[in-house]
Each structure stands twice: as structure tokens, then as C-alpha cells.
């Protein structure tokens, strides 16, 4: 076949999902391609239609030490494209010194007990990375707790494709 296309990561992930059906314990899966792009999903459970995970990370070597504008561009494109999660997401904080962009649910889901929200961190440090987690904060209690993200296989694969499709190219 020669060159692997961007679809290969989601195809590999789809195969892993099929293999993991019935899993009810924490399982970390990593799929990668020849360019060095690597996706890691920390699954909690997988059934035939859906899956729950605590975090999804995409490592993007081409974004290591990239210009901050590249991260901003990625944040904006991701936020416009990923409109099918429980809440819309949007860039919240830009930290050029740390080489990070923080994206959160806009607005978070309001529950009787507090709020729940997605949090995405884009980083140009280390190996260049995307991280998606979900948190819950309880009214009257300091801090926040991670919460599982449950989506259909189809949504996870679409999310994977959208993450990869929006990676800025031509970074200095």
C-alpha cells in the first residue's frame, strides 16, 4: 500500500473497538501512523454500539514547538467542526508562554448538583498534543472531578477524523 492515509488511524481504531466489545475494565489503546501521528484512548468500557473513555489524546509531532498561531488556528477549526458533543466547545484561554490553548464547553451543562463540561488542551510542548477530558464540578465543593465520556463508536471515529483533518499544516 505504501503511504498510510489519515483515515488509517480511525480504521485502526475501528478494528480496536470491534476487538474490545464486551470490555468492562480500563483499557488503553494506541493507534498510530507512519508520520508519527498517534492517538491514545483510555477506555473504561466498550459495547457493540458505544464506548466510555476518560481521555482521548492525539500526539502531533509536527506541532512540537510550532508557532502559537498554529495552535490558535487548530483551536478555532476544531471548535467550529466539532458540534456534535453534548455541548459546543470554544477556545477559552490562550497561553503563548506555555504553548497551550484551553478549549471548554460553551456553555457547560448545568445540572442540579453543579456543572459538567468538556475540556480540551492543545499544546505545542513535548510532542505536540491534543487532550480531551470531561469534568464535573459540584456546587459548594472546591475543585472538580473527571467524568467518563460516553459516545457511540460512530461519534468517536468522526471525532478522530475531525481532529486529524483540522491539524494545521505548513507549521514553521
| Predicted pLDDT at 125 | 85
Instruction: Examine residue 56 and state whether it is found in any structural domain, yes or no.
Output: yes
CA atoms within 13 A on the CB side of 75: 24
Mean pLDDT calculated for residue range 128-132? 92
Task: Give the C-alpha separation, 44 to 97, whole Å.
Answer: 34
In a domain, 172, yes or no: no
Could you read off the pLDDT of 68-105 as tens digits, one per residue?
999 999 999 999 999 999 999 999 999 999 999 999 99
- Which of 65, 69, 62 lies closest to 126 in space, CA to CA? 65
126, part of any domain: yes
Instruction: Say if 171 falls within a structural domain.
Output: no
Give the predicted TM-score (pTM) of the model.
0.90
Distance of CA 153 to the CA centre of its chain: 14
pLDDT of 172: 44
Residue 129: strand, helix, or coil? strand
Assess if residue 58 is contained within a domain.
Answer: yes
Q: Cα(first)–Cα(last) distance of the chain, in Å?
A: 30
pLDDT at position 127: 78
The range of the structural domain enclosing residue 18 comes to 7-165
Q: How many domains does the chain have?
A: 1
Residue 155 domain flag: yes
pLDDT for res 170: 58
Does residue 1 belong to any structural domain of this protein? no
With respect to residue 2, please indicate whether it lies within any of the assigned structural domains: no
Taking alpha carbons only, the member of 128, 153, 172 closest to residue 36 is 128
Amino acid at each position: 500500500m505504501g503511504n498510510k492515509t489519515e483515515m488509517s488511524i480511525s480504521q485502526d481504531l475501528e478494528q480496536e473497538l470491534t476487538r474490545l466489545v464486551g470490555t468492562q475494565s480500563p483499557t488503553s489503546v494506541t493507534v498510530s501512523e507512519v508520520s508519527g501521528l498517534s492517538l491514545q484512548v483510555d477506555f473504561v468500557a466498550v459495547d457493540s454500539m458505544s464506548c466510555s473513555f476518560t481521555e482521548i489524546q492525539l500526539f502531533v509531532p509536527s506541532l512540537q514547538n510550532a508557532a502559537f498561531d498554529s495552535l490558535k488556528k487548530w483551536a478555532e477549526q476544531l471548535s467550529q467542526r466539532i458540534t456534535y458533543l453534548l455541548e459546543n466547545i470554544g477556545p477559552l484561554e490562550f497561553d503563548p508562554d506555555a504553548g497551550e490553548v484551553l478549549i471548554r464547553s460553551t456553555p457547560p451543562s448545568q445540572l442540579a448538583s453543579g456543572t459538567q463540561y468538556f475540556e480540551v488542551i492543545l499544546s505545542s510542548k513535548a510532542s505536540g498534543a491534543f487532550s480531551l477530558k470531561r469534568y464535573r464540578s459540584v456546587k459548594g465543593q472546591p475543585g472538580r472531578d473527571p467524568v467518563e465520556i460516553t459516545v457511540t463508536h460512530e461519534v468517536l471515529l468522526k471525532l478522530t477524523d475531525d481532529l486529524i483533518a483540522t491539524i494545521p499544516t505548513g507549521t514553521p
